[in-house]
Structure 1
Amino acid sequence: MELNEFLNNIRGKVLIAGIGNPLRGDDAVGSYIVKELSNRKTNAILIDCEEQPERFIEKIIQKQPDTVIFIDAFHMQQEPGSVAFLKEEDLQNIKISSHQTNLKMCIKYIKSRIKGKVLIIGIQPENTNFGKPMSEKVLNTAEILKNFLIHHIIQ
């Protein structure tokens, strides 16, 4: 999905859910962005799911958001730090990062319980090895995305 289409799909109450294992390098990127955003005053609901978004499904549903945005590391055969704006259908051809959660099933269940849209921001990791820090490329992308979200979505 193109950036403009992504932005045009965002409406009303926004919930941003970051996914990632903080012990696995670039896999932490979704959680990192949400934690960074939580340090600011925002109109969005922020949830750090770490590596288990399925544990937060009911919390997401209870908030009844108009738009849910998941942020996660995805292996997309792109350059590290590359960003993709995705819909649920796009997940069929993308391998979810090192955690074992079936994000597609989580999204399908959420969509069955809310009227809002569910979107995904995927970031290509460079290194998801245990005990490694986030790579410079992915950290730079995380900062750019954080600022983008602040200025265009959650101001």
Structure 2
Amino acid sequence: MELNEFLNNIKGKVIIAGIGNPLRGDDAVGLYIVKELKNKINAVLIDCEDRLERFIEEIIQHKPDTIIFIDALHMHHEPGCVVFLSEENLQHPEISTHQTNLKMCIEYIKARIKTKIFIIGIQPENTNFGNSMSERVLNVAKILKDILIQEIGK
């Protein structure tokens, strides 16, 4: 999915959920973006860390029209590469989340409420324990943050 198509599908009440481990370098990219969006965007922001399943009921209770998960995805691309996916695209064999329960969580949410779910996936460069985010992924995160602020706004 192209960026414009992704942005055109963001409608109504929006939840943006960052997923990742803050201690594993680029794996924290989703958390970073959610933190940077606080008080700058008209959306419910949730920092799930690597425990998305703990936030499913909170997400469902908000009854969002659109849910956007932001996560580091291993896609065999260059570090910092960004993909915009619908939940159906997660079945692609080249896409692997560090957290296999993302697909199950999406299926559960879809069974409970009518909502559109999208994933912003960023190819990590380094997810080793104790590392900071790489410069490439950090730069991409800043650009994505700016795009989301511009498109969703306050």
- Matched with 1:11 is 11
CA deviation string 1:6-34 (max 9, x = no partner): 12211100100000100000000001110
SS, match of residue 48 in structure 1: strand
- CA deviations on 1:111-141 (whole Å, 9 max, x unpaired) are 1112110000000000000000000000000
Structure 1 outlier segments of 4+, above 3 Å: none
Shift in Å at residue 36 of structure 1? 1.0
> How much identity, in percent, do the aligned residues show?
73
Q: CA RMSD in A?
A: 1.1
- Equivalent residue number for residue 2 of structure 1: 2
How high is the TM-score relative to the length of structure 1? 0.94
Per the alignment, in what secondary structure is the counterpart of residue 41 of structure 2?
coil
**Matched residue SS, 2:88:** helix
CA contact (8 A) 2:40 2:153 kept: no
Query: How many residue pairs get matched?
Result: 152
Which residue number corresponds to residue 32 of structure 2? 32
Post-superposition shift, 1:101?
4.2
Q: Which residue pairs with 1:96 in the alignment? A: 97
Q: Distance in 2 between matches of 1:101 and 1:15?
A: 21
Residue of structure 2 in register with 1:43 after alignment: 42
**Paired residue for 1:150?**
149
Question: Residue type of the partner of 1:96?
Answer: T
